[in-house]
Amino acid sequence: MSETVLDVKGMNCPLPVLKANRALRALAAGERLRVLATDRAAVADFHAFCRETGHALVAWSEEAGVFSFVIRKREAP
């Protein structure tokens, strides 16, 4: 399965979610986007973003201050 990586480390809310939303538009349904962020607010932001848009937050983790979010693009309505 295809996975695209988006590095938004150093950017603050709302930029990580806005850039992820733009990147997701370029992906096909079912493809994955891995977002790397350093903003602590991104945890709540990406949970809310996925809940509101229908994309699946497949996994998230934090290591050495870097958050990693794996988002699967929703199927077309």
For residues 44 and 29, give the distance between their C-alpha atoms in angstroms, rounded to a whole number: 24
- Sequential DSSP letters for 46-73: HHHHHHHH--EEEEEEEETTEEEEEEEP
Catalytic residue among 6, 11, 13, 56: 13
The residue behind tokens 């938004």 is: 8
For residues 66 and 17, give the distance between their C-alpha atoms in angstroms, rounded to a whole number: 15
13 is catalytic: yes
Q: Which residues are catalytic?
A: 13
